Structure 1
Amino acid sequence: MQIDLTGKTALVTGSTEGIGYAIARQLAKAGADVVINGRSEEKTAKAGERLKGEGAQGTVTAIAADLATAEGCAALVAKLARVDILVNNAGIFQPSDFFDTPDEVWDRHWQVNVMSAVRLSRAYLPSMEKANWGRVIFIASESGFNIPVEMIHYGVSKTADIAVARGLAKRMAGTGVTVNSVLPGPTLSEGVESMLANEREKTGKSIEEVAADFVKQHRSSSLIRRAASVDEIANIVTYLASPLASATTGASMRVDGGLIDTL
């Protein structure tokens, strides 16, 4: 199976590191012209330069924009009029007990995790429909089904992503445009490494061991009993972004290591 995205322009939001960067790298290796995005001009530019040296077959462009605001989304769209592939990856998470979580935290998670995807999908889907081809992929989470008690606000935002993706797939029915969500389980990204840093220092274990311990303790239904790698998430996103996935739309694709305990 050969995935060729030559001639396709792909925007991956929140792609200066972690899952987003891995997705951008995979799409670039498949031939897509990739647009890297982050909030910091310097960090975004550095990620773009790094990607150029890691096997990119198409062009690499870096556009910094804070997608937590309507103005930031509009600024990005003003610099990038159309795309063929939109990966709504920008997201945040913050463990916090429900009773200690103020409105501001709920609102920021909603703006970053949900509304950035809503705004960009609204901006780019019409041109995809006109071209009769396009891919929109929401990076949701298994937490959208298994709401984590330690960050209910995050889980709710990811449930919303899954719902928006399903609704948009219905809205684009018959157009040649597919819309799907991807549900990673615990993944060893820079953000997760930072969350587990104290435990790593305390135990002296490797980050992989600490992550596996976290999965076993807090996500005990996992069947792989470890954290996924960012490339394992990027693999399925690259497939969904390709012409090979033309019959897959409105789906919630689980890359959760079997964590969600349902058929």
Structure 2
Amino acid sequence: MLITLEGKKALVTASSGGIGYAIAKGLAESGATVIINGRSEQSVLAAKERMSAELPVASLLTAAADLSDAAGCARLFRAVPELDILVNNAGIYGPGDFFETGDEVWDAHWQTNVMSGVRLSRAYLPAMRDKGWGRIVFISSESARNIPSDMIHYGVSKTALLALSRGIAKRVAGSGVTVNAVLPGPTLSDGFAALVADEMARTGKSLEQIGREFVQAHRSSSVIGRAARVEEVASMVVYVCSEQASATSGAALRVDGGVVDDIV
């Protein structure tokens, strides 16, 4: 299968690092013009420089905006008023006991993880629908279906994205615009690397080895028995954004290594 996104413009939110960076690079490799987004001008310019070095033929733009509130989303839409592909990847996470997690933490997760996707999808969908083609992808998580007891607030926000993507897909049914959710499982992202940096330094173990041990200890239902690479998540997103995926909409597509233990 040859996926080409020549002539398409794609925005990947929170793409200055981690899974978002890998998705942006995958879309650029397929020929799309990609807008790299992050909270600061410094972060997006650094990501653009890195990606340009890794992929000299990439067509890249940048748009700095903090998507944790309505003003930041509006700023991004003004900077990039039209798209073919929107990947809602922006999100925050962090452990916290349910009884000690206050409203401010719940609200921060809701605003960034859910409302940024609501606001941007609402802004970009009308033009996509009018031209009869578009792709919207929400980056959810296996935690949407396998709610972690130490991050209930995070899991709830990711479950909301499944309902949101399915509902929007039905709202634009027959328009030529597809809307889907992708659910990564444990992934060797920049965030994971930062969390285990001390352990790597103390034990001398590689990131891959620590990821494997984490999966075996905390996600023992995993079929692959290891953490995914960011490129593996990106490959699913690139496919969903392609012309070849035109019959896939309203779906929750797992890249969780089989952590969620069911057959659908």
Q: Please tell me the TM-score bracket, short chain as reference.
A: over 0.9
> Structure 1 residue 124: deviation in Å?
0.3
Unaligned runs of at least 5 residues, structure 1: none
Name the structure 1 match of 2:45: 45
Paired amino acid for 1:247: A
Counterparts of 1:56 and 1:234, CA distance in 2: 19
CA contact (8 A) 1:25 1:54 kept: no
Kindly report the root-mean-square deviation, in angstroms, between the aligned alpha carbons of the 2 structures.
Answer: 1.0
Question: 2:186 corresponds to which residue?
Answer: 186
Query: 1:212 Cα deviation (Å)?
Result: 1.1
For 1:46 and 1:203, locate their aligned partners in 2 and report how far apart those are by CA, in whole Å. Answer: 31
CA drift of 1:59 comes to 2.0
> Which residue is 1:259 aligned to?
259
Structure 1 residue 210 displacement after superposition: 1.0
**What whole-Å deviation, never above 9, does each CA across 1:20-68 have from its counterpart, x for those lacking one?**
0000001001100000000011011111122222225452101100000
1:198, CA displacement in angstroms?
2.9
Q: Quick check: 1:25–1:56 contact (8 Å CA) kept in 2? A: no
Write the distance in 1 (CA, Å) between the matches of 2:99 and 2:210: 28
Secondary structure class of the residue paired with 1:53 = helix
Q: Are the equivalent residues in 2 in contact too, given 1:12–1:20 (CA < 8 A)?
A: yes
User: Per-residue displacement from partner, 1:194-247 (whole Å, max 9, x unpaired)?
Assistant: 112233233332111111111111111111111100000000100000111000
Shift of 1:190: 0.6
Q: Distance in 1 between matches of 2:54 and 2:35?
A: 15
Given the superposition, is the C-alpha separation of residues 127 and 57 from structure 1 closer, same or farther in structure 2, using an over 3 Å criterion?
Answer: farther
CA distance in 2, matches of 1:96, 1:239: 35
Match of 2:210 in 1: 210
Moved more, 56-65 or 70-79: 56-65
Q: Distance in 2 between matches of 1:40 and 1:151?
A: 27
Find the aligned partners of 2:58 and 2:259 in 1 and give their Cα distance: 36
Higher mean alpha-carbon deviation, 164-173 vs 204-213, is at 204-213
Determine the structure 1 residue equivalent to 2:91. Answer: 91
* Alignment size in residue pairs: 263
Contact 1:36 1:44 in 2 (8 A): yes
- Runs (5+) with no aligned partner, structure 2: none
Identity of aligned residues (%): 59
- State yes or no: 1:31 paired with 2:2: no
Aligned residue in 1 for 2:103: 103
Give distance in 1, aligned partners of 2:214 and 2:52: 34
Residues 95-149 of structure 1, C-alpha deviation per residue, up to 9 Å, x if partnerless? Answer: 1111221111111111111000000000000000001000000000000000011
3-state SS, counterpart of residue 121 of structure 1 = helix
Which has the larger displacement, 73-82 or 198-207? Answer: 198-207
